[in-house]
Amino acid sequence: MARQTNFGQLVLVLVVIAGVGAFAVWRVRLQALDREINAKKTALKNLHVSEQLPPNPQVVEYLKQRTKALEAKYEAALARLAPPLQLGDQQTDTQLLFQERSHAAQRTLERLATARNMTAPTQLGFPKDLPPPEAVPRFLVQVGLIEQAAEAVMAVPGVSRVESFKVEDPQPVVVTSELDVFLTQLPIRIRLSCPLETLTKILTALDRADPLMDVQAVRVTTTLTESGEEAEDVVVELVVARYFVTAPKLPTATEEEPTEKKKLGARS
């Protein structure tokens, strides 16, 4: 009968804390950049709607360049946390596109497994029928996550078996101070076998991944040999997530401010 090890529990606690901490840092960074960008845009627009003396061209140019730099930093951070979905040139039938990419992911798993003398997982947890159009974007993100996670995990020496990849239900990232859900996490569950020292290398590989793969949970279970001794390999379950942007985009420089705000900036 399998039993949980103290080391496995310690790894679980450390990884969950690290995963939550890493996501919190990215979240705060994105929110800070978001606020700074909007503050700069508002300051520029208020200069135009009020009757104050306009700044000289050098100041205006500096503020514009500063805003562009902040937007570039924001987009770079967001691209690592939640990379944009690549739909390719043919966007007429996203359901068939998902089917093609899921088959491609299965071939990738078979190629990686063959190169390492493993048996490739045969099920990825996707529905057998074509998913509804509204579910295709998240499934495409999870297909990409499976491929990236497989390449990271199966490249680590010591992994003896990758039993399965399974997609999990999406979970909105709720922030109480915001009305809109900015991000939705799209997790997958990975089940594999390896020695404990190999698990450390796997977690390191996932932590260094780009785009970000958020390790949300680790479960380690020991197994027994036929003679009743503790086996060298342990069974590991990893929950890894990618994020999908669901909030409205940032306002562009050409978008108008609310009428009430214009009235406050104007003088009679």
Q: Which tens digits make up the pLDDT trace of 166-182?
A: 999 999 887 766 667 78
CA distance 64 to 44: 9
Taking only the tens place, the pLDDT of each residue in 156-169 is: 999 999 999 999 99
**Same domain membership, residue 100 and residue 60:** no
Does a structural domain hold residue 260? no
Same domain, residue pair 115 and 189 = yes
Say if 43 falls within a structural domain: yes
Is the separation of the CB atoms in 4 and 222 below 8 Å? Answer: yes
**Cβ–Cβ < 8 Å for 195, 220:** no
Give a yes or no: residue 264 inside a domain.
no
Residue 89, both tokens: 């040139």
Compute the average pLDDT of residues 92-109. Answer: 86
One domain, residues 163 and 40: no
When mean pLDDT is compared across 100-104, 124-128, 134-138, 247-251, the lowest value belongs to 247-251
pTM of the model: 0.68
pLDDT on residue 121 = 86
Same domain, 98 and 225: yes
One domain, residues 39 and 99 = no
The CATH number of whichever domain residue 132 belongs to comes to 3.30.70.60
Which residue, among 132, 203, 139, has the nearest Cα to 165 in the 3D structure? 139
The total domain count for the chain is 2
Of 175-189, 195-209, 220-234, the one with minimum mean pLDDT is 175-189
Could you tell me the pLDDT band of residue 53, with boundaries at 50, 70 and 90?
A: low
What mean pLDDT is predicted for residues 21-32? 64
**Banded model confidence at residue 203, pLDDT cuts 50, 70, 90:** very high
pLDDT at 265 over 50: no
Is residue 257 domain-resident? no
Instruction: Note whether 112 and 151 are within 8 A (CB).
Output: yes
- Neighbouring CB atoms inside 10 A of 64's CB total 13
Helix (H, G, I), strand (E, B) or coil at 240: strand
Q: Given this model, what pLDDT does residue 125 score?
A: 80
End-to-end, the C-alpha distance of the chain in Å comes to 82
Same domain? 147 vs 169: yes
Percent of residues, the chain, with pLDDT higher than 90 = 35
18 is a domain residue: yes
Domain that holds residue 24: 9-82
Q: Is it the case that residue 63 has pLDDT exceeding 80? A: yes
Strand 171-173 vs strand 214-224: parallel, antiparallel, or unpaired?
A: unpaired
In the structure, what pLDDT confidence band is assigned to residue 46 with cuts at 50, 70 and 90? Answer: low
78 belongs to a structural domain: yes
Does the residue 138 lie in any domain?
A: yes
Mark whether 55 and 113 lie in a shared domain: no
Tell me what the pLDDT averaged over the chain comes to. Answer: 79
Answer yes or no: do 66 and 98 share one domain: no
Output b/e per residue, 226-263; b: 16+ Cβ within 10 A.
eeeeeeebbbbbbbbbbbbbbeeeeeeeeeebeeeeee
Query: Among the listed ranges 130-134, 138-142, 240-244, which one has the minimum average pLDDT value?
Result: 130-134
